[in-house]
């Protein structure tokens, strides 16, 4: 990430955090006018925002249990605040709209009614965070089939994506997903980016567990944007220690007339790492093979789909937390699920197996994907 983008990102985060905190204070003082005399004390909530920057501080792999607990508290607080403000804005729009019906409604809400609004939004936000934390643990198996004359033999492919091993997603998560993957009896396992972030307490333990994934035709991985935020070459080494073959910029025939090719995430350009452009990878595919294209972000240029039969992506997390889903949908043409492309090719966008930031998902179930390839 360039310095300009870093500063821009920091500025956006600061402004958003300040505005969200401002709305929280406004909601409290509107519902409880007596709190206005403690305005200076309430302003201390702005200081809490500084704790959020600890989550983006440069760290090594090493971490502690205390750091994990602190991170969880900060993540849950900001997730609650985001959902509280998102639904609060909707309520404020509805309250403002009342001004156009002065014969029916008073211009301003009384403190009593403001208490009801505060209670409702608080319950919604709390429920979203609590339910979202439980839903993030409930990984489901998504399944679809693909038929092609190019496929020589029935083959089971498992896609995992966006695990984000980190301070809060650790070896316990690895212990959970490995049996789930092996129970699907995959011939091939494909990982489509964002394997990790910094702050992992037991990287060797995670590697030991993830190496137990069984796939006779191989396990293959590509980079996501977080591999470059964390340190590309360190991540590449770590992913290979986990038993995956790195496919950035490579195309390989893995048997049964199935060819897997992967492209490096475009964050490589900002990280000053050589970028294997899509075109250079796509042109290595041959039409007589069943070509599986791995690309972290579900982005396509005109004509790309003529080179592959199936493209697998991740990155979007399906929005991860509603109503953030709406913003993610605006910025991504392909949000989640299976899409038909020009020329008969298909694109599947995983909602991700783990989660980024808060271990919370609401309206976007985490998944492991089983793809059955049939002749």
What would the pLDDT profile of 30-67 be if each residue is shown by its tens digit? 999 999 898 889 988 888 887 766 665 544 444 566 77
What is the reported pLDDT for 40? 87
Quote the tokens at residue 330. 């605006």
Q: Which of 314, 324, 315 is nearest to 360 (CA)?
A: 324
Cis peptide before 323 (omega within 30 of 0): yes
Whether residues 275 and 357 share a domain: the answer is yes
Domain count, the chain: 2
Q: Tell me: do 144 and 127 sit in the same domain.
A: no
* pLDDT one-digit tens code per residue, 254-291: 999 999 999 999 988 877 788 778 999 999 999 999 99
DSSP state of 256: T
Question: Are residues 317 and 216 part of one domain?
Answer: yes
Residues 233 and 293 in one domain: yes
Asked if 375 and 151 touch (Cβ cutoff 8 Å), the reply is yes
Is the overall model pTM greater than 0.95, yes or no? Answer: no
The answer to whether residues 176 and 252 belong to one domain is yes
Q: How many CB atoms lie within 10 A of CB 49?
A: 19
- Please tell me whether residues 152 and 45 are part of one structural domain: no
DSSP string, 54-72: GGGS---S---HHHHHHHH
User: Which CATH number is 214's domain given?
Assistant: 3.60.21.10
Q: Which two tokens stand for residue 98?
A: 């009342």
Q: Is there a contact between 350 and 192 (Cβ–Cβ < 8 Å)?
A: yes
Mean pLDDT of the chain, nearest integer? 90
The residue range of the domain holding 290 is 140-374
Same domain assignment for residues 151 and 212:
yes
Of 101, 135, 169, which one is at a domain's C-terminal end?
A: 135
Q: Which two tokens stand for residue 101?
A: 């019906």
Which among 81, 114, 135 is the end of a domain? 135
Where does the pLDDT of residue 17 fall: very low under 50, low under 70, confident under 90, or very high at 90 and above? confident
94's tokens: 């509805």
Asked if 149 and 308 touch (Cβ cutoff 8 Å), the reply is no
Three-state SS for 296? coil
**pLDDT at residue number 127:** 94
Q: How far apart are the first and last CA of the chain?
A: 44
> Could you report the per-residue pLDDT of 110-164, keeping only the tens digit for each?
888 899 999 999 999 999 999 999 999 999 999 999 999 999 999 999 999 999 9
* DSSP 3-state of 17: helix
Q: What sign results for the dihedral spanned by CA atoms 296, 300, 304, 305?
A: positive
Whether residues 229 and 259 share a domain: the answer is yes
Tokens coding 117? 């609004």
Tokens of 334: 């392909």
Give yes or no: residues 41 and 64 share one domain. yes
Q: Is 155 helix (H, G, I), strand (E, B) or coil?
A: strand
């Amino acid at each position: 990430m360039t310095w300009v983008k870093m500063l821009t990102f920091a500025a956006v985060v600061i402004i958003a955090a300040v505005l969200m905190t401002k709305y929280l204070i406004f909601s409290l003082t509107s519902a409880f006018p007596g709190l206005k005399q403690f305005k200076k004390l309430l302003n201390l909530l702005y200081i809490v925002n500084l704790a959020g920057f600890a989550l983006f501080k440069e760290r090594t792999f090493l971490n502690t249990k205390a750091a994990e607990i602190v991170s969880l508290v900060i993540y849950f607080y900001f997730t609650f605040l985001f959902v509280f403000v998102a639904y609060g804005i909707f309520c404020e729009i509805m309250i403002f709209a009342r001004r156009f019906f002065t014969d029916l409604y008073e211009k301003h809400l009384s403190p009593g009614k403001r208490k009801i609004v505060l209670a409702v939004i608080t319950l919604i936000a709390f429920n979203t965070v609590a339910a979202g934390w439980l839903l993030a643990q409930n990984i489901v198996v998504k399944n679809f089939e693909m038929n092609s004359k190019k496929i020589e033999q029935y083959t089971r492919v498992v896609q995992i994506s966006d695990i984000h091993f980190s301070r809060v997603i650790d070896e316990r998560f690895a212990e959970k997903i490995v049996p789930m993957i092996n129970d699907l009896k995959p011939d091939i396992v494909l990982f489509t980016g964002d394997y990790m972030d910094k702050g992992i307490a037991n990287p060797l333990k995670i590697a030991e567990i993830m190496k137990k994934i069984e796939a006779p035709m191989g396990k293959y991985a590509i980079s996501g944007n977080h591999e470059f935020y964390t340190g590309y070459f360190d991540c590449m080494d770590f992913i290979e220690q986990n038993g995956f073959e790195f496919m950035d910029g490579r195309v390989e025939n893995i048997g049964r007339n199935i060819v897997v090719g992967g492209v490096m995430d475009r964050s490589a350009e900002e990280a000053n790492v050589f970028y294997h452009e899509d075109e250079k990878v796509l042109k290595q595919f041959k039409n007589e093979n069943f070509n599986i294209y791995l690309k972290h972000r579900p982005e396509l240029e005109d004509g790309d789909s003529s080179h592959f039969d199936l493209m697998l992506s991740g990155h979007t997390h399906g929005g991860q937390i509603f109503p953030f889903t709406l913003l993610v949908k605006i910025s991504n043409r392909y949000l989640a699920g299976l899409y038909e492309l020009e020329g008969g090719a298909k694109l599947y966008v995983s909602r991700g197996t783990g989660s980024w930031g808060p271990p919370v998902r609401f309206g976007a179930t985490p998944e492991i994907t089983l793809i059955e390839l049939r002749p």
